[in-house]
Amino acid sequence: MTRDHWEKIYSSRKPAETSWFRPHLELSTRWIDSVALDRSASILDVGGGQSTLVDDLIVRGFPNISVLDISETAIQRVKQRLGSASQRVTWLVEDILQAPLPAESYDVWHDRAVFHFLTQLQQRATYIRQVASAVKTGGHILIGTFALEGPEKCSGLNVMRYDAESLRAEFGSHFHPLESFHELHETPFGTTQQFLYCSFVRV
C-alpha cells in the first residue's frame, strides 16, 4: 500500500464513488456497542478513510476515539464533515505498518478492509505485531476482510481473501478467536461483495 495511491483515490472520488462505501457501518457499530460496555473505552479505527463510523461513535457517547488512515485527504475531509466535533477525536495520518502506536493503549481495534490489502507475509506479520503491542490484554479486535467469494482486487490492488479458519490462523496465539460472521455488502454500483468478519480477544 502506498500513500500516493490512496491520496489519488480519495482526491478524485467522493465517498459514494468508492466500492466500499456504506452510509453507516451498522455491523461495526453493533459490535463495538457489544464489547465496549464502558463508554470510556479507547477505540482505534484502522483505515477509517471517509467512513461515518467515527460520527456514529461520537453520537453514542464514546470520548476516546482514534482514527488512523494513510491518506491525509481522507482525514481532512472527515474532519471538515464533523466540524467542531472533530476535536473530540485523535487523528493519525499513518501507514499502519509503520505507525508509532503507544503500547497497550486500546481497548477496541476495528479494521474494516485494511488487512486484506496485505498480500505479503511480512506485511501481515508486522500488522499483527502492531495489534499485539497496541491492544490491552483483554482488549477486543474486529478484522473485516473479503471472504472467499469476494473480489480478487479492490481499487486496482490485489487483495487476500479469507475464511474464518485461515484468518484466525494469521493471528496466532496472542489472540483468542470469538465470533465470525459474513456480510453481503452492496456497493454504490449495484454489485455485491462478500465480507468476512472475525473478532478476537488479546490474551
- CATH assignment of the domain containing 195: 3.40.50.150
Q: What is the pLDDT of residue 75?
A: 97
Decide if 106 contacts 135 (C-beta within 8 A): yes
Q: How confident is the model at residue 2 (pLDDT cuts 50, 70, 90)?
A: confident
pLDDT tens figures, 6-16? 999 999 988 88
pLDDT tens-digit series, residues 69-97: 999 999 999 999 999 999 999 999 999 99
Q: What is the pLDDT of residues 156-165, one digit of tens each?
A: 999 999 999 9
Read off the pLDDT of residues 162-183 as tens digits, 9 standing for 90 and up: 999 999 999 998 999 999 999 9
**Number of domains, the chain:** 1
Contact by Cβ (8 Å): 185, 22:
yes
At 18, the pLDDT band (50, 70, 90 cuts) reads very high
8-state DSSP, 163: -
Which cell is 157 given?
490492488
Mean pLDDT of the chain, nearest integer: 96
Yes or no: say if 16 and 49 are a contact pair by the CB < 8 Å rule: no
Nearest C-alpha neighbor of 14 from the set 188, 175, 130: 188
Q: Which residues pair with 45 in a beta bridge?
A: 67, 110
pLDDT of 102-137, one tens digit each?
999 999 999 999 999 999 999 999 999 999 999 999
CA distance 104 to 203: 12
Give the three cell numbers for residue 95: 501507514
Q: Specify whether the backbone of 202 is left (phi greater than 0), alpha (psi in -120 to 50) or beta.
A: beta
Domain hosting residue 189, numbered range: 3-202
Please, are residues 134 and 44 in contact by the beta-carbon 8 Å criterion?
yes
The mean per-residue pLDDT over the stretch 54-62 comes to 98
